Amino acid sequence: MGYGPSGVYILDMKGKTIIYRAYRRDAPAATTVSDRFTRLVLEAEEETIKPVFQHNDINYMWIKYNNLFIVGTSVLNANAMMVFTFLYKLAEVLSLYFRELEEESIKDNFVVTYELLDEMIDNGYPQTTEYKVLKEYIKSESHQLAENTQLAVPISVSNAVSWRDDGLKYKKNEVFLDVIEKLNLLVASNGNVLKSEILGNLKMRCMLSGMPELKLGLNDKLLFEATGRQTRGKAVELEDIRFHQCVRLARFENDRTISFIPPDGEFELMSYRLNTHVKPLIWVESRIEHFSTSRLELIVKAKSQFKSRSIANNVQIIVPVPSDASSPVFKTTIGVVKYEPSQDAVVWTLKQFQGQKEYILRISLSLPVVMSSDRNHFQKIPIRLVFEIPYFTVSGIQVRYLKIIEKSGYQALPWVRYITQNGDYQIRIL
C-alpha cells in the first residue's frame, strides 16, 4: 500500500510557505520545503521540472492550483498515487469551503484550514476527505461550544454510505443518466485510421427520496460471457473501467452487476475506454485546386458516414491555411464560413449535419507575392473537427435496464440519454 504524506505544505507563487502541517517526525521544516521547491521548481528550466522529485532522501510531490502550490513530502516509501489523490482532494475541499481557493482565502481562514488538515490526515494516512462529512463538524464560521457539550461523530462517518445524507425527500423522484462518449481519431489523408480510441463516462443526476438502491445493466460482453446469456444486439467489451466510490466493487467483480446507493445530485458513476477501430463519423478532405505565389484555391468535401436518421449538431470543420493569407472568398450551399487569422484557419460551421450527406466548400485566398518561408507548412497541419451527435454512441453501448429499489416502494422515472462528441479528432491533409 505504501505511506501517505508525512507533511503537507501550501506555498504561494514565490515558493513561500503560507501554511503547513507535519504528520510524522520525518516531515521537513517549512523553510526547507520552501527553499528546495523554489530552487528545484520555480527557478529550474521548464524542461527539467517534474511533479515528483527527490532531494536529500526527501520525496516531494506537488500540484498547482490557481495561485498556490500544494506540496506533499515523505522520506519513507510513499504511495505517490495516494499522495496526489489526497492533494487534489484537499484542493477540492478547500475550494468548496472558501468558494475560491487562493492565497487570500487561505490567509483569511487559517483556523479552518488547520482543522481540515488535522481531520483529513492522521499520521500521514488520509482519513475523512468527503466535503459533506467534514462540513457536519468543521464549520467555516467561528462558533463556541457550550460547557459540557460533546461533539458527536456525524452519522455519515460511521455510516457505510458517507456520500449520501439520510432523510432526503423529493415530490417527484427522478434519475437522469447521460452516456457520453468522446472519440479520439487520427486519420491519414488516404482514409487509413492511424489512431482510434473511445473515452466514455456515465453521468447521473439523482433526485430520489430516502436511501434507494440502483441496479444498472449494460450490454457488457464479459457479463454475457460470464452468465452464458445470449444477446440479440451488439455486446461491448469495456476497458479501464473506473467507478464512483458508491458502486459495490465486490458485486461487480463477482457477476458484473453495477449496484449502488447513489449520491444526491450530480456525479460521475463510471468511466471507461475502448481501443477499437472506428470508421470516421465525418470524413473531410481538402484538395488544392490552384496554388500560386499570389493565390490559393481549396476544395473541401465533408461527408457524414453515420446513419441517415442521426444528426450531428454544431459541427465545426477547421481547415488550416497559410499564415499570410488574406481576402477570403467562400462558396458553399450550407453553413457559415469564417476566416480566423488567429488560428491560421478557415472555420466552416454547420448547425446540423444529417447522416449520409455530403457538402462542398470552395475557398479562395490571396497570398503576398513575397512568399514566406513556411507558406507550405499548412499542408502538414491536420483538419480538426468539433461535433456532437445526440441519441447515438459510437461504441454501441446500451443501458439494458436501470432499476430503482427503495423500501417505501415509490415509483421513480429514469431518463437515459446518449451523446457522442469529438475528442481529439484530426484528419491529415498530406
Q: What are phi and psi of 134, to 5 degrees?
A: -60, -35
Question: Residue 429 and residue 319: Cα distance in Å, rounded?
Answer: 9
Average pLDDT, stretch 334-347? 96
Half-sphere exposure of 117 (CA within 13 A, CB side): 21
Strands in 159-263 per DSSP E: 174-187, 193-207, 213-218, 239-243, 258-260
Question: Residue 421 and residue 335: Cα distance in Å, rounded?
Answer: 19
Of residues 135 and 144, more confidently modeled? 135
pLDDT at 119: 87
Same fold, 7-134 and 282-390: no
Average pLDDT of the chain to the nearest whole number: 88
Which grid cell is 70?
500544494
Average pLDDT, stretch 162-186? 93
Reply yes or no on whether the pLDDT at 229 is more than 80: no
Half-sphere exposure of 372 (CA within 13 A, CB side): 12
Which grid cell is 352?
446540423
Q: What is the CATH number of domain 7-134?
A: 3.30.450.60
Asked if residue 406 lies in contact with residue 211, where contact means CB atoms within 8 angstroms, the answer is yes
Reply yes or no on whether the pLDDT at 87 is more than 70: yes
pLDDT at 148: 43
Question: Residue 205 and residue 67: Cα distance in Å, rounded?
Answer: 32
Q: Could you state, in order of their start, the residue ranges of all structural domains in the chain? A: 7-134, 174-180+195-277+396-413, 282-390
Of residues 161 and 82, more confidently modeled? 82
pLDDT at 223: 64
pLDDT at 142: 38
pLDDT at 339: 97
Q: Which of 119, 35, 114 is nearest to 73 (CA)?
A: 35
Asked if residue 72 lies in contact with residue 80, where contact means CB atoms within 8 angstroms, the answer is no
**Fold assignment, 282-390:** Immunoglobulin-like (2.60.40)
Of residues 158 and 338, more confidently modeled? 338
Asked if residue 46 lies in contact with residue 59, where contact means CB atoms within 8 angstroms, the answer is no
Asked if residue 180 lies in contact with residue 270, where contact means CB atoms within 8 angstroms, the answer is no
Question: Residue 121 and residue 123: Cα distance in Å, rounded?
Answer: 7
Q: Is the CA virtual torsion 318, 388, 337, 355 positive or negative?
A: positive
Average pLDDT, stretch 387-391? 96
Place of cell 468535401: 301
Reply yes or no on whether the pLDDT at 420 is more than 60: yes
Torsional class of 356: left (φ above 0), alpha (ψ -120 to 50), beta (otherwise): left
Instruction: Assign domain 174-180+195-277+396-413 one CATH number from 2.60.40.1170, 2.60.120.380, 3.40.50.300, 1.10.150.120.
Output: 2.60.40.1170
Asked if residue 214 lies in contact with residue 235, where contact means CB atoms within 8 angstroms, the answer is no
Dump pLDDT digits (tens) for 18-59. 999 998 888 899 999 999 898 888 888 877 888 998 888 889
Q: pLDDT above 70 covers what percent of the chain?
A: 92
Place of cell 453515420: 306
Q: What are phi and psi of 315, to 5 degrees?
A: -80, 130
* Residue 426: band (very low, low, confident or very high) from pLDDT cuts 50, 70, 90: very high
Residue 345, number of CB atoms within 10 A of its CB: 21
Q: pLDDT above 90 covers what percent of the chain?
A: 60
Reply yes or no on whether the pLDDT at 272 is more than 80: yes
DSSP 3-24: B--SEEEEE-TTS-EEEEEE-S
Average pLDDT, stretch 380-401? 94
Dump pLDDT digits (tens) for 281-334. 999 999 999 999 899 999 999 999 999 999 999 999 999 999 999 999 999 999
Average pLDDT, stretch 179-208? 95
Does pTM surpass 0.85?
A: no
Reply yes or no on whether the pLDDT at 143 is more than 50: no
Q: How far is CA 293 from the centre of its chain?
A: 45
Question: Residue 376 and residue 55: Cα distance in Å, rounded?
Answer: 47
Burial of residue 230 (number of CB atoms within 10 Å: 0-12, 13-18, 19+): exposed
Average pLDDT, stretch 148-177? 72
Q: What are phi and psi of 302, to 5 degrees?
A: -125, 130
pLDDT at 144: 37
Asked if residue 311 lies in contact with residue 354, where contact means CB atoms within 8 angstroms, the answer is yes
Which grid cell is 314?
454544431
Length of the chain in terms of residues written: 430
Of residues 109 and 132, more confidently modeled? 109
* Residue 2: band (very low, low, confident or very high) from pLDDT cuts 50, 70, 90: low
Dump pLDDT digits (tens) for 403-419. 999 989 898 989 999 99
Asked if residue 383 lies in contact with residue 429, where contact means CB atoms within 8 angstroms, the answer is yes
